[in-house]
Amino acid sequence: MVKVGVAGYGVIGQRLADGVALQKDMELVGVADIAPTLAVRALKEKGMPYKFYNSLPENQKLLEDAGIPVSGTLEDLVQQVDIMLDATSAGIGAKNKEIYAKYNKKAIFQGGEKNSVADVFFHGYANYEKGVGKQFLKLTSCNTTGLIRAVDCLDRVVGIEKVAITIIRRVADPGDYHRGLTNALQIDKAPNHQAVDLMTIMPHINATGILVHTPVTHGHIITVVATPKKKISKDEVLKAFNSHDRIRVVRIADGFLGNASLFRYARDLGNPRGDMYEIAIWEESIVESGNDIMFAINIPQESVVIPETMDAIRAAMEMQTNGAEGVAITNKYLGMGKWK
């Protein structure tokens, strides 16, 4: 049983803790944060299903005044685990790495950290074997994670030469205020980092892209134009996507009109927080343009990286050294593909 700790109990950290708790061959030792945030207060109100550790000792009284039971410090947590999942704010993970290294522990960092923090820039499907046995892994961002799932899926079937993407990016997570309220679209310079990151993970594919920030909170949408190495039909593309346990093919005709439809459907399914681990691809968006294939993906930014993080634990801890075996077990415990 691999023992896991989570540093940073925010948007991603909460979901990582839940994801680990679902893995039958892992044990969640505890979670760490610095203050009685709303997420930590909710943890207390739920009866403290996870032990809580204080990452900032000078905040001990603040936590005590909020009635948060504290089991120790971040260093106490690190000493009890085999591997840490770091979901802290960008830059904090690099500082925490010093603690992980001090106790010779393995760690997995999220997409906000610089690539230099880790030994391997990791994706469960595209380069699982490169992460096997490594001490420090870094996940791709939410958009890059979902994008690689779809591109890798087709690449395995027909080979992909290049992709051009446009990302319609949500401006902030639900409940966030730091970006303010806007009535504007903002464009970033090309190529966006997701295209560059895809090429880092899959160097045999030429990728470029444009990103547009939009004043919404529930999910990103990415349009992809993929150039295959040989002609592939829409039916063959559909078959490939339908066979992938982390891709849900949906239809506009069935009422999936956009990102809000998918978020509502996840809530109607009773998924905690309305989370979706899978990306969605609209069937009606898949079109042939000469030899190219175009399609559109929905990225549920709060939860899409959870499966790949579970894969990273499996690779780093050598629980499974074969990628296909590792992702299959993650999928099983997370219930991926159950809608088929």
Which parts are annotated binding residues for NAD(+)? 33
Tens-digit pLDDT profile for residues 37-56 = 999 999 999 999 999 999 99
Supply the pLDDT for residue 170: 80
Strand partners, 281: 249, 297
The percentage of residues in the chain with a pLDDT greater than 90, rounded to a whole number, is 90
Domain ranges of the chain: 2-140+305-334, 142-299
Closest CA to 297 of 233, 209, 187: 209
Give yes or no for a contact between 298 and 261, defined as CB atoms under 8 angstroms apart: no
Closest CA to 77 of 9, 25, 27, 31: 31
- What H or E segment, with its residue span, contains residue 297? strand 292-299
Distance CA 269, CA 263 (A): 10
Supply the pLDDT for residue 178: 66
Residues taking part in catalysis: 142
Which parts are annotated binding residues? 33
Q: Which two tokens stand for residue 182?
A: 């806007």
Tens-digit pLDDT profile for residues 110-162 = 988 999 999 999 999 999 999 999 999 999 999 999 999 999 999 999 999 99
Tens-digit pLDDT profile for residues 267-309 = 999 999 999 999 999 999 999 999 999 999 999 999 999 999 9
Tens-digit pLDDT profile for residues 173-200 = 776 666 666 778 889 999 999 999 999 9
Supply the pLDDT for residue 338: 87
Supply the pLDDT for residue 181: 62
Domain 2-140+305-334 adopts which CATH fold? Rossmann fold (3.40.50)
Number of H helices, E strands in the chain: 12, 15
pTM of the model: 0.94
Supply the pLDDT for residue 280: 97
Inform me whether the pLDDT recorded for 79 exceeds 90.
yes
Contact partners, residue 338, CB within 8 Å, separation at least 6: none
Domain 142-299 adopts which CATH fold? Dihydrodipicolinate Reductase; domain 2 (3.30.360)
